[in-house]
Structure 1
């Protein structure tokens, strides 16, 4: 098969040069414009429904709100999981859809269902908040503002009013979220005993302030021939004016508010405390818009903050954590690795060809192939991220392959005495078929990967597109630029000398001849290697994602429910004191009282974020450091703690569900106790609703009717007394630069006094107020601090960290326990999180690999016009996978996402050697040579380009193996899989593929006479080329 594309490029060089000049310039401009991000831009169809109702317990919200929301949305098509988290005063339901569902349609469907059930929900709830979740929604930067001259309330206002307003105007910044719960308010703290003596309900004070403390429109009038608007100014100008507000009493007298309440300019009850290196401050997190560059946003943010630091030297703004540093480190490391791989590849070419001119032609193929790929990335709206850059790094050795094969073949013609121009014309047409076949098989592997589906498939789409674009670009370069440059740059043979075959090629030819003479023995050796290597796969553990060293250790801390935020902060400080001697730590950020999944504040929970020195600046890896910290923290057995991985999750997590909460708790606790005793498991704990102390109010129904008091009024009274009114419904106090909430609430020392709460008066409809004790009973009891649900059932999870074992090994160990196998049918495990993704990855990889092999086979059958010999070519696949398995076992890796990427890469490139061999064998046979002679000559002519291209691809992988950066754990195993597969497939292909060729050829000659009997077509008919 002869392709005239190369001949056209050689005879008409100017159009070819113009085409690639345009592509190169476009690629350079595209590279400059491409944003740099950590991960691909992905929109997952996840919708959240958040409903708040101040003062409501988790149990009340579960029955009155959450179950109704779950029931309403459960009928929407395409739902994968429904999870709910309910805490005091807040319910959050997360609806996760299948990945093929449009996120915008899913959001509208959820909104419609919630609107339909709005009448069934309690009237006192805030309006449901329905939002779409963005996978890129994590903060890229976190800062802490502190000052020795400003209070935390003033500092909070500075963050909200100055820093946030200026940063949100920065291009690429989506939003700013303040960390911590420090808010200035006007506190009105009535004395409960005085209120009881005056029979004055606390809700009366709250409603009075809401009615007085506001400005209202009063219409308009004409005055002195001009139209004037009327404004009724009800707001007070100072705290003293609020104190002088008159309140009605039960005897018809009036009393000043200041006589029954302490009124002052203060702050809301602290629920969250932030510290950086032991100093109090106010944190804020920065989120970027979708599609914007992490690095550009971070640079622009830092410029604004530098200006603010110069303007306000008393305010110190320090960086807490940054994902951008990891992104930048990974980006620069990838570019460095790509350049190193390209350099090593060029050195390999120079070593074999021993011509700087030929090496230059091969080297030029790299930028000419990569630069147009950047244009494709820009057209597809992709970014330079971990996946697209990884694809370019992996493909670096492949990009020069086609050029090597072209140049090597042209060089052969020159060595035979042909002039370069004539050699390029002859050689490029002769090799064109093999090069096109090689490229199409690689594309046939990676294009299906782009449509793999599932969670992993979302990440593979840009990977497959990037590899396919780069390989197709390299095909164009090899077919157009390489023969063109060879024709005009290579020099003719200066001396007429006999072409001498290198000694190592002669030895290979002898060994190949010996293999052909002992075909059955050779086949037995090959099958033994294949069986042995496949058996070794049992030695490889299975996981999902390797842990990277991102220099940030995140530790979750949990105290018993009901612990105040001050106690949580005290315990966290004691833990951090244990770390004061650790030289690996650069900074320590702590937060006591963290937001839970339902947007509430869990005061008994906290977080420690340790920023470590760079990986090359410390002896211990991040994982080793965390193991030593675990030993230190184990001194405090009364405090639960666990490390989160780079994605914010625990290393190990199993989710269980059931309708019977008590049975679910009992069975999973037994299982957890057994798991904690297994080797390789650390910090194993049950994530379940914990009980906390609470006050339970039971209405006296008989008295409610006589007094005219309803349950809602009792709840409002207690809510305002103990929590205060929500900001959205409270009275407002206007300052020149802002508006403060006026919070009516009992003093803290009275909020948990049952006797005082019993004596609070409640407003009645049309009758005299009555004390709570006459219409309700207040008792102390226990209730869940938080309730978790999944797929409309109660949820309990087992979480922890792994030490020296993979996720797959951990799951196997748990499933082997009798306590797991004997779980009742009413308790079921739900595949969720990394466990679900791991199983989904393996399943989809298997089906995609099968489809890719069939597609490659179909392409080879079409190109070779033969059903049998393409099978010979595919023999290299199992040999390569066997070599990859052995290399991974020796390296100590596991089967996870990066290894699967490496195996996919192998599938695309290992058929290259077989194609070069088989295509030349067939060509020699068509020229009249015997089968054995054709095999020996094809092997002799093709062994050098096969070895060259294999060494070039291995050279491109070596920097990935030797890298020591933040994501070395991701790149290393992947490169090892590729190198191991290349070595085994090359060695075995050069010897055993010809043997397989002979067996299939024998089978073909036995089969053809049988097939000939089934058809009337003769050889004479086939020889007719045109009617």
Structure 2
């Protein structure tokens, strides 16, 4: 089989060269389209179901949220395992799918099952899906450099301006905010006053919720003019919240300020974000989607940051804390230097031992063609060009070069044997002459007698 393949290649040299040129062109295109990352993504296909029920203990969440979800999410197609965990105020369910399952198909199956499991949960508890990212999807961290701006204003700027801008970048799964204070109206009730007025906490909650709303109206015409009536009840300041009536005793309303204290403050925090020991900082984490090109996505995010920068307040700028593009670029540069060094060393070795530039060229031309073909296979199997895959290609170049050197040396050996036999007057023949064919003889030698051939 190998002899036939070699013979076919020798008889069709131009076809082989055309095929090699086609593979190289296809490979060059694949190199440009190949996904580039620094870290190989070895994580499993995972879908996270997150449920928040603040103020409840882990045991309550385990019994009323986590357990019903885990039991109902089992049995989904291509699910390998379902794991659940509960903590104070939060529940997590992790579904691990088989490797050949499409992640978005898996998320659709989970959503279908959640529609049924929703009725088993307590009122007001709604499970949601986590971002469609992986464990190595944190490709970019940034902070806001805003001297003179307090942490609450920085967090509001991050949550209501920067985050929405970066989430529109193709390939971004989520922009997770961290640090600072999330502003909120805080109502601190006085149990003694509530007992005096005969109120309960649900009554206070219902009063705040009902008064922080907008009611629709209707349109009517008067004197040929149309009027639209509506009620705007959204709370705009602390004074409005303090004057919200909870109940009426006779003709006197009992307001929020009569039973509680209202103040503007930040949400309770479990930790802080400190940057290099210089104090607290506010920023975000850009999470990449499944199967995206990390290098291209980071480039798009940085370009979007330049557009967002124009709308930031004076003196506010971005400060990159973690940027994977530097590691990606170093990895690509390393493999480029390795390939160039190997090609130079191989060229010198071949020229030194063979003194023939065509032989060196035939060996060196295998390297770019093989690398280009490898990128075709990487794209076909959806494997990114990362440290592991590029290192494997660099190590395999030694095998590629060895193959070329062995074949070149074998060709030289056969040519040398042929030339030696030709100089001795007895060139080797691939096949013996057919019976009855006259052969040339040296001067003075006796010519062999032809053997008669019988034809039946």
> Would you say same fold, with TM above 0.5?
yes
The Cα of 1:143 is off from its aligned counterpart by 1.5
Which residue matches 2:286?
A: 286
Paired residues of 1:189 and 1:263 also in contact (CA < 8 A): yes
Deviations 1:351-383 (A, max 9, x none): 443433311221111112222332343344443
CA distance in 2, matches of 1:117, 1:4: 64
Identify if the C-alpha distance between structure 1 residues 166 and 70 changes in structure 2 by more than 3 Å, giving closer, same or farther: closer
Identify if the C-alpha distance between structure 1 residues 74 and 28 changes in structure 2 by more than 3 Å, giving closer, same or farther: closer
Paired residues of 1:45 and 1:97 also in contact (CA < 8 A): yes
Deviations 1:828-855 (A, max 9, x none): xxxxxxxxxxxxxxxxxxxxxxxxxxxx
Paired residues of 2:51 and 2:91 also in contact (CA < 8 A): yes
The Cα of 1:286 is off from its aligned counterpart by 0.5
Paired residues of 1:136 and 1:290 also in contact (CA < 8 A): no
Deviations 1:282-320 (A, max 9, x none): 121011233333223323333443565575452253222
Paired residues of 1:172 and 1:297 also in contact (CA < 8 A): yes
Which residue matches 1:145?
A: 144
Which residue matches 1:743?
A: none
Q: Secondary structure at the match of 1:264?
A: strand
Identify if the C-alpha distance between structure 1 residues 381 and 25 changes in structure 2 by more than 3 Å, giving closer, same or farther: same
CA distance in 2, matches of 1:29, 1:296: 16
Identify if the C-alpha distance between structure 1 residues 193 and 378 changes in structure 2 by more than 3 Å, giving closer, same or farther: same
Higher helix share: 1
CA distance in 2, matches of 1:307, 1:103: 32
Paired residues of 2:217 and 2:230 also in contact (CA < 8 A): yes
CA distance in 1, matches of 2:103, 2:12: 51
Identify if the C-alpha distance between structure 1 residues 173 and 242 changes in structure 2 by more than 3 Å, giving closer, same or farther: same
Paired residues of 1:103 and 1:132 also in contact (CA < 8 A): no
Which residue matches 2:318?
A: 317
Identify if the C-alpha distance between structure 1 residues 276 and 216 changes in structure 2 by more than 3 Å, giving closer, same or farther: same
Is residue 231 of structure 1 aligned with residue 218 of structure 2?
no
Which residue matches 2:82?
A: 82
CA distance in 2, matches of 1:224, 1:27: 77
Paired residues of 1:44 and 1:99 also in contact (CA < 8 A): yes
Which residue matches 2:121?
A: 121
The Cα of 1:58 is off from its aligned counterpart by 0.8
CA distance in 2, matches of 1:358, 1:48: 58
Q: Secondary structure at the match of 1:93?
A: strand
The Cα of 1:179 is off from its aligned counterpart by 1.4
Identify if the C-alpha distance between structure 1 residues 360 and 102 changes in structure 2 by more than 3 Å, giving closer, same or farther: closer
CA distance in 1, matches of 2:187, 2:381: 58
Identify if the C-alpha distance between structure 1 residues 364 and 18 changes in structure 2 by more than 3 Å, giving closer, same or farther: same
The Cα of 1:56 is off from its aligned counterpart by 1.2
Q: Secondary structure at the match of 2:148?
A: coil
Which residue matches 2:269?
A: 270
Identify if the C-alpha distance between structure 1 residues 339 and 208 changes in structure 2 by more than 3 Å, giving closer, same or farther: same
Identify if the C-alpha distance between structure 1 residues 221 and 412 changes in structure 2 by more than 3 Å, giving closer, same or farther: farther
Deviations 1:430-457 (A, max 9, x none): xxxxxxxxxxxxxxxxxxxxxxxxxxxx
Identify if the C-alpha distance between structure 1 residues 411 and 162 changes in structure 2 by more than 3 Å, giving closer, same or farther: same
CA distance in 2, matches of 1:100, 1:387: 21
The Cα of 1:392 is off from its aligned counterpart by 1.3
Paired residues of 2:139 and 2:323 also in contact (CA < 8 A): yes
CA distance in 2, matches of 1:168, 1:118: 28
CA distance in 1, matches of 2:256, 2:120: 39
Which residue matches 2:405?
A: 404
Under a length normalisation based on structure 2, what TM-score does the superposition of the two structures give?
Answer: 0.79
CA distance in 1, matches of 2:213, 2:104: 39
CA distance in 1, matches of 2:22, 2:77: 48
The Cα of 1:142 is off from its aligned counterpart by 1.2
Identify if the C-alpha distance between structure 1 residues 253 and 497 changes in structure 2 by more than 3 Å, giving closer, same or farther: farther
Identify if the C-alpha distance between structure 1 residues 45 and 368 changes in structure 2 by more than 3 Å, giving closer, same or farther: closer
Q: Secondary structure at the match of 1:140?
A: strand
Identify if the C-alpha distance between structure 1 residues 405 and 220 changes in structure 2 by more than 3 Å, giving closer, same or farther: farther
Paired residues of 1:72 and 1:117 also in contact (CA < 8 A): yes
Which residue matches 1:70?
A: 70
CA distance in 1, matches of 2:222, 2:11: 92
Which residue matches 2:164?
A: 165
Structure 1: any 5+ residue segments left out of the alignment? 420-492, 499-923, 928-1027
Paired residues of 1:43 and 1:134 also in contact (CA < 8 A): no
Deviations 1:182-214 (A, max 9, x none): 211223333333333322323323212221221
Q: CA RMSD in A?
A: 3.6
Q: Secondary structure at the match of 1:145?
A: strand
- Please identify, of 327-336 and 355-364, the stretch whose mean Cα deviation from structure 2 is larger: 327-336
Q: Secondary structure at the match of 2:195?
A: helix
Which residue matches 2:454?
A: none
CA distance in 1, matches of 2:260, 2:52: 29
Paired residues of 1:213 and 1:235 also in contact (CA < 8 A): yes
Deviations 1:987-1023 (A, max 9, x none): xxxxxxxxxxxxxxxxxxxxxxxxxxxxxxxxxxxxx
Which residue matches 2:358?
A: 357
Q: Secondary structure at the match of 1:327?
A: helix
The Cα of 1:111 is off from its aligned counterpart by 4.4
The Cα of 1:136 is off from its aligned counterpart by 5.4
Paired residues of 2:165 and 2:308 also in contact (CA < 8 A): no
Paired residues of 2:187 and 2:263 also in contact (CA < 8 A): yes
Which residue matches 1:50?
A: 50
Which residue matches 2:453?
A: none
Is residue 24 of structure 1 aligned with residue 18 of structure 2?
no
Q: Secondary structure at the match of 2:297?
A: helix
CA distance in 2, matches of 1:309, 1:74: 46
Paired residues of 1:46 and 1:132 also in contact (CA < 8 A): no
CA distance in 1, matches of 2:244, 2:296: 54
Which residue matches 1:326?
A: 327
The 5-angstrom pairing of residues 123-272 of structure 1 reads: 123-124=123-124, 126-131=125-130, 134-135=133-134, 138-180=137-179, 182-221=181-220, 230-248=229-247, 250=249, 253-272=252-271
Counting matched residue pairs gives: 425
Deviations 1:918-951 (A, max 9, x none): xxxxxx9x99xxxxxxxxxxxxxxxxxxxxxxxx
Q: Which has the higher contact order (CA 8 A, sep 6+)?
A: 2
Which residue matches 2:298?
A: 298
The 5-angstrom pairing of residues 731-810 of structure 1 reads: none
Identify if the C-alpha distance between structure 1 residues 79 and 165 changes in structure 2 by more than 3 Å, giving closer, same or farther: closer
Which residue matches 1:895?
A: none
Paired residues of 1:298 and 1:324 also in contact (CA < 8 A): yes
Identify if the C-alpha distance between structure 1 residues 16 and 71 changes in structure 2 by more than 3 Å, giving closer, same or farther: closer
Deviations 1:608-660 (A, max 9, x none): xxxxxxxxxxxxxxxxxxxxxxxxxxxxxxxxxxxxxxxxxxxxxxxxxxxxx
The Cα of 1:130 is off from its aligned counterpart by 4.0
Under a length normalisation based on structure 1, what TM-score does the superposition of the two structures give?
Answer: 0.38
Structure 2: any 5+ residue segments left out of the alignment? 433-456
Which residue matches 2:436?
A: none
CA distance in 2, matches of 1:383, 1:223: 69
Deviations 1:901-932 (A, max 9, x none): xxxxxxxxxxxxxxxxxxxxxxx9x99xxxxx
- Please identify, of 203-212 and 130-139, the stretch whose mean Cα deviation from structure 2 is larger: 130-139
CA distance in 1, matches of 2:191, 2:401: 83
CA distance in 2, matches of 1:38, 1:387: 9
Identify if the C-alpha distance between structure 1 residues 111 and 300 changes in structure 2 by more than 3 Å, giving closer, same or farther: closer
Q: Secondary structure at the match of 2:141?
A: strand
Which residue matches 1:612?
A: none
Deviations 1:119-163 (A, max 9, x none): 433224x21224586435631111122423211111011112222
Identify if the C-alpha distance between structure 1 residues 319 and 355 changes in structure 2 by more than 3 Å, giving closer, same or farther: same
